[in-house]
Amino acid sequence: MSRARLIEETKGDFVAMPPILSAAHAVDALSDMTVQANAVTDWLNERSAAMITGAINIVIIIVVAIAVRALLGRAIDQLVKRTVSSQQRVSRAKVAGRIIRSANASRAERQKQRADTISSVLKSVSTFVVFGVAFVTILGQFGIALGPILASAGVLGLAVAFGAQSLVQDFMAGMFMMSEDQYGIGDVVDVGDAVGTVEAVGLRVTKIRDLNGGLWYVRNGEIMRVCNMNQDWANAVVELPLAYDVDLEEATQVIQASIDEFADDPEYSDQILERPDVSGVVAIGNGAVTVRVMVTTRPGSQWAIGRALRLYLKRGLDRHGIKVAYPVLPVQGAGAAQQG
């Protein structure tokens, strides 16, 4: 055999070697993958029961949380509706043997808005509590220790409670204010420094527009007492300071005739709930005899009715020549009338 032929055959053998080596490597890799797959399979077989049980527990927790939230939502709706309806039945007043019902369209709408607000807040709180407990329970299914989490949440809640005492106070006062229907949008109220018309009612702040146009922001937690001038019914009170020397019997007849004429006016009769009359003499002093007239009106109409009644009284007194009192000024001392 020639040398050249021997070199060619040897070269061919070297070229044929790499496929054999590659096949061996592939067999080794496949064997390693098989071992890993067997390990994963064994791990799944060992823990499959626990995983299936945990998944079932998680599904049960979620379903129970949803069901509890739905039941709480229905209970809250029923409770709020019952509370509002009972307050509507009780919202009546007895004046001079007559029952005056204040239920009207605007009041019913306000009651509905109040009920929606209260139910929305209570539903939000119930949702947070129910799903928060469900979330913590699900963490326990994953083997996470709940002790440190609960301890941290307790410390955080305590810190927030100390730092936001006024906020919690405002929130609770707003909840009680809405549930008791102390006032609503459009009511004229007196809450202390702020007296005016309520423009917005929130769980934390109430907005009141005063007579001068100023807008007051009053925290609900700082409202110690409320005078609502637009609830159920109202009184228009007019006091007439008559001259000391007038004939009271004649003056009373004239006043009664004037208020009867006023009560028969179709423009004002639908706003009057109780026919007005003369209450009598309420004060004597400073050269005057003060006679009081009182009219029971629909809530919010007392100011307009009072202005119109004063106009009718003025006309009647002028028509019959009955004089009103003039203030008596001291001759000497502070406040004395100056001459010249």
33-76 tens-digit pLDDT? 666 666 666 666 666 666 777 788 888 889 998 999 889 888 88
Same domain for 145 and 25: yes
Same domain for 242 and 128: no
Contacts of 14 (CB under 8 A, 6+ apart): none
Same domain for 123 and 21: yes
The residues of the chain scoring below 50 in pLDDT are 6, 14-17, 20-21, 92-103, 105, 334-340
Strands (E), 126-233: 188-190, 195-201, 205-210, 215-219, 227-228
Whether 197 is covered by a domain: the verdict is no
CA distances from 143 to 50, 53, 139, 153 (A): 11, 13, 7, 19
Residues pairing with 92 in the sheet: 101
Residues pairing with 228 in the sheet: 189
Same domain for 286 and 158: no
Structural domain containing residue 240: 234-319
Whether 27 is covered by a domain: the verdict is yes
Same domain for 135 and 6: yes
Same domain for 147 and 23: yes
With beta carbons less than 8 A apart as the criterion, state whether 184 and 230 touch: no
The CATH code of the domain that includes 272 is 3.30.70.100
CA distances from 338 to 176, 199, 327, 328, 331 (A): 58, 48, 15, 13, 9
| Counted domains in the chain | 2
Contacts of 50 (CB under 8 A, 6+ apart): none
pLDDT at site 293: 92
Whether 4 is covered by a domain: the verdict is yes
pLDDT at site 2: 54
- Closest CA relative to residue 240, chosen from 261, 229, 256, 262: 256
311-330 per-position pLDDT tens digit: 999 999 999 888 888 776 65
pLDDT at site 310: 92
Same domain for 246 and 158: no
Whether 175 is covered by a domain: the verdict is no
pLDDT at site 85: 65
Rounded distance, CA 262 to CA 268, Å?
8
Rounded distance, CA 176 to CA 168, Å?
12
Same domain for 156 and 36: yes
Domain edge (last residue) among 146, 163, 180: 163
Whether 211 is covered by a domain: the verdict is no
Element (H, E) at 73: helix 3-90
Same domain for 255 and 119: no
